[in-house]
Chain A
Amino acid sequence: MSVERALESTGNWLDDRLHGARGVRVLLRKIFPDHWSFLLGEIILYSFIILLLTGTFLTFWFQPSMTDVIYHGSYVPLRGVRMSEAYASTLKISFDVRGGLLMRQIHHWAADLFMAGIFIHMIRIFFTGAYRKPREINWLIGIVLLTLGLVEGLFGYSLPDDLLSGAGLRITEGVLQSVPLVGSYLAFFLFGGPFPGNQIIGRMYIIHVLLIPGLLLALITAHLFLMFHQKHTQMPGKGRTNENVVGAPMYPYFMAKTGAFFFFVFAAVTIASTFVQINPIWLYGPYNPVAMSAGSQPDFYMGALEGSLRIMPAWQWVVFGHTFAFNVFVPALLPLGLVFGGAAVWPFLEQWITGDRREHHINDRPRNAPTRTAIGIAVITFYGVLWAEGANDLIADHLDIPLYWITWAARVGIFVAPAIAYILTKRICIGLQRKDNHLIEHGVETGVIRQLPGGEFIEETRPVDEERLAVLISRVAHPALPAGGTAEAEVPAPGMRGGLGRMRERMYRVITESAPMPSAHGNGHGDGHGDGQLAETNGHEGHGREPTSASATAPPAESRPGEGEH
């Protein structure tokens, strides 16, 4: 058998040198839980690989130079036009290198997919509470990755030095200039003098192809290592507890699935690049600081920043001969600073308010954390208003709405819409919890009406099936505040004293607002999850999520030697 021969030759050769048989075997049998939303992170990883490969290809021809040249290449409409070498070499890649246009478009589509993947992955992590202990570090790494990705994308699409991206650089310069005290120095140091100068493309180039990709690679490696080491979270279900991982082993199942998924990601990006034109820089023309086309839009991930600049009223102070350009630096820094900074602080804030120091390996259903879900939807709404405002001119044009109305609507909506979203989401979540409680306590309504001997009519119910019940009862109660941790208590517990303690108590009431926990139900499925879930105040073990019965496929624990302890 060829497998055996390969193991005997190559396998033994490697093992003689690396002592890998034990460790790699554990690796091969590592269990990966399955859920469609767990693929979102893989989209990002594979987009990144595509970006590295296609980006390397592009560097073979791209000239990161702002030296003026007169174009004589294949694109007839621009012949004889003065342009930078960067722009001319991008035209060359597009029209004179076979596969060059394809690689450029794949690179751009993959970058958009990379950023979209990060946003959606982050949203998934937030709503399922997968950032909770012990995964806070990975959450923070993720936020750094997102921020780096934004800069990497901005610098990347600015490299061709075309009219559209040049406008983006001009805006970058204006934003830098607005920073109090050091703004004009920042702008001059980045651009190597007055805008546009002849430095910026070369500087962005090396940051784009070396510095940030290096950081991304290191952080992605750390992100994956931590995910591997801490083991993936799993969705609630039958046989799944906070102390196990249920799924298919890495070899061959996860490897084959993820390989297929890599092919699909690559296929999706290639199909988009084949049929949907992206960033046709030859239509925009080379950059010059005098021209600008209407309807200019950045890539989607910069849209919120753009909208934030558009929404801001014209506020500015001139004090003691110095200008505070609130109209620029406030929208440039504040909204996204709040969103990203808030996201970074949130896991720790939530832990402090609830006092929940347990490990969480089973994902929350979003409805079971109404306040968190409501905050998440409110933030997405906030971001969405900015994003839509970033395209206000296109919306005005396509929907025939006066432009200023949209901006005024956004100025009001940026405060009102998140508040409405918060309230609505919370009510919906609590309503869904009540529905779940009803199912747990009374079972599924069958529609069969029966008359009792006494004349009373009742509707028959049947118990919820085990799979579904396991999901329904996955809700975990919040730990109670420390004893005496209320304002009424005569002697408040440590940590609950003073103004900070009272604030924590108030926030605790908000964050734990939920439908009541379901009472033990009487439909015959009461084994193992009756009282466990109601007594949740101690230790990391207390999840009240005993498996209803041992899964038939679950092997005994001792048959899994050495797992997880690498």
Chain B
Amino acid sequence: MSDSNSPGLTGAGEPGEPTWPEYLAAGGSASGAAASASADHGGGHAAPHRIIGTPPPAATRTMLAQPGEGGGQVKRPELPPDSDDPVRAKKAELIVAACFVLATLAGLGFMVAYALVGVGSVTGALHSNLWLGGTTSLVFLLLGVGAVIWVRHLMPSVELTEQRHPLRSTEAERAAFKETFEEGAAASQFVKRPLIRRTLIAASVPLVVAPLFLLRDMGPLPGDSLGTTVWRKGLRLLAYGTGRPITVAEFNSPGSLLSVGPEGYLNDDDAMAKAAVIIIKFRPGQLQPPTKLNWTVNDIVAYSKICTHVGCPAALYEQTTHHILCPCHQSTFDAAHGAKVLFGPATRPLPQLPIGVDSQGFLIATGGFDEPVGPSYWERS
């Protein structure tokens, strides 16, 4: 076994030969694995770590070792050098190696799959995902399995004990800290001169508050914009998706429902986030107050689609019961009775939009909503 201070080592600038005690304290006497472990005891205080030159024979040094010098004794290693069961270890070694070889192959397979499996279509992407993911999974799985077998069957089992110490510092340490801190506080004059202390604190207040001002331009003030939509008298109702206007004649099947938006705003998400509307066709006589019957035309009623709970599109409609259900939190509204709330966390009915028919027979709004649509907010009265 070669020695830890072989001639190949360059010293940390030591000009001359070290003295014997220095050499011993540096751990030169310990043999093998213990040498590196005990070298730290020479640490900051006693001797140089490394020595240039040919060391004397190991046996001599061991006999000269001085107990209590830290690194001077032969130490029993804490970790046994060999596996618990050499026969099983040999077998385990082969399995681990096989895992690692397969992992290498899987890694190479990844590169091949990357080069060969093209993407650019759904099937291509899914195939690529399968191949790249499969090979990556194999690499990691095999590395993991190999490492676990390595730890469990090759490394000798060991259990060591380390002492804990109370985290609380000793009284002396605390006293020393207190002294140092108080010295510093006194030297800084911070405590002695309340004038600068208080003015500094005063100066730091704007420093904390001013950055909040910077956030002001994150957005415009809401003003009354939450209370209004783009709907106004005369705007046609266009079917969402196709963008076509709707005649009373073609929207004539009772129970049918259509999502509509105001003419000119279908592609304006900001406007549609408040202006989305559903129209529902009823049989004569089915619509009852509190539905505003004079705001309907030919038993077609229009309600805001924006749920009054937190603003999801209330998109589900049950024909037989006339229930409008919001899929987010299940607020349920009765479409035949002014969209009043039947169940769920919404507090207000879906606002009704007054509609009529223009000269060409298309559905139009005969006015805007008479109340804010969508979720509640502080300024809403």
Give chain B residues whose Cβ lies under 8 Å from the Cβ of A536: none
Give chain B residues whose Cβ lies under 8 Å from the Cβ of A290: 240, 259, 261, 272, 276, 305, 313
Give chain A residues whose Cβ lies under 8 Å from the Cβ of B128: 98-99, 101-102
Binds A, one of B85-93, B293-301, B343-351: B343-351
Q: Is the CB of B78 within 8 A of A540?
A: no
Q: Is the CB of B316 within 8 A of A316?
A: no
Give chain A residues whose Cβ lies under 8 Å from the Cβ of B150: 256, 260
Known A-B contacts A12-B50, A177-B226, A314-B341; A188 and B219 likewise in contact (beta carbons under 8 Å): yes
Q: Is the CB of B344 within 8 A of A314?
A: yes
Binds B, one of A291-299, A433-441, A506-514: A291-299
B210 on interface, CB distance cutoff 8 Å:
no
Give CA–CA (A81, B39) in the complex, Å: 71
- Name the one of A98, A171, A175, A195 contacting B132, with C-beta atoms under 8 angstroms: A98
Q: How far, in Å, is B51 (CB) from chain A's closest CB?
A: 13
Give CA–CA (A309, B327) in the complex, Å: 13
Binds A, one of B16-24, B161-169, B177-185, B192-200: B161-169
Q: Is the CB of A184 within 8 A of B158?
A: no
Give CA–CA (A431, B6) in the complex, Å: 66
Q: Is the CB of B376 within 8 A of A193?
A: no
B54 on interface, CB distance cutoff 8 Å:
no
Binds A, one of B119-127, B245-253, B356-364: B119-127
Give chain B residues whose Cβ lies under 8 Å from the Cβ of A184: 222, 226, 377-379
Give CA–CA (A243, B164) in the complex, Å: 5
A325 on interface, CB distance cutoff 8 Å:
yes
Give chain A residues whose Cβ lies under 8 Å from the Cβ of B122: 74-76, 95, 282
Instruction: Give B35's nearest chain A residue, CB to CB.
Output: A4
**Which residues in window 122-174 of B have CB below 8 A to A?**
122, 124-126, 128-130, 132-134, 136-137, 140-141, 143-144, 147-148, 150-151, 155, 158-167
Number of interface residues of B (CB under 8 A): 105
A475 on interface, CB distance cutoff 8 Å:
no
Number of interface residues of A (CB under 8 A): 133
Q: Is the CB of A266 within 8 A of B155?
A: no
**Which residues in window 360-381 of B have CB below 8 A to A?**
374-381
A460 on interface, CB distance cutoff 8 Å:
no
Give chain B residues whose Cβ lies under 8 Å from the Cβ of A187: 222, 377
Give chain B residues whose Cβ lies under 8 Å from the Cβ of A296: 327-328
Q: Is the CB of A554 within 8 A of B161?
A: yes
**Which residues in window 17-68 of B have CB below 8 A to A?**
36-37, 39-41, 43-44, 49-50
- Name the one of B39, B78, B311 contacting A195, with C-beta atoms under 8 angstroms: B311
* Interface residues, chain B, with chain A CB atoms under 8 Å away: 1-2, 4, 6, 8-10, 12, 36-37, 39-41, 43-44, 49-50, 70, 75, 78-79, 114, 117-122, 124-126, 128-130, 132-134, 136-137, 140-141, 143-144, 147-148, 150-151, 155, 158-167, 215, 218-222, 225-226, 240, 259, 261, 267, 269-270, 272-274, 276, 305-306, 309-313, 315-316, 327-331, 341, 343-348, 374-381
10 residue pairs, one from A and one from B, having the closest CB atoms: A174-B310, A274-B133, A263-B144, A260-B147, A267-B140, A22-B40, A289-B273, A325-B376, A554-B161, A321-B381
Since A101-B119, A294-B327 are in contact, a sample of 13 more A-B pairs with Cβ atoms closer than 8 Å, ordered by chain A residue number, is: A8-B8, A98-B117, A167-B312, A174-B312, A185-B222, A194-B225, A199-B219, A245-B162, A309-B328, A314-B331, A322-B378, A554-B159, A564-B164
* Interface residues, chain A, with chain B CB atoms under 8 Å away: 1, 4, 7-8, 12, 15-16, 19, 21-22, 25, 29-31, 68, 74-76, 82, 94-102, 105, 134, 167, 170-171, 173-175, 177-185, 187-197, 199, 230-231, 239, 242-249, 252-253, 256-257, 259-264, 266-267, 270-271, 273-275, 282, 287-296, 306, 309-316, 318, 321-323, 325, 327-328, 331, 359, 361, 392-393, 403-404, 407, 540, 551, 553-555, 557, 559-565
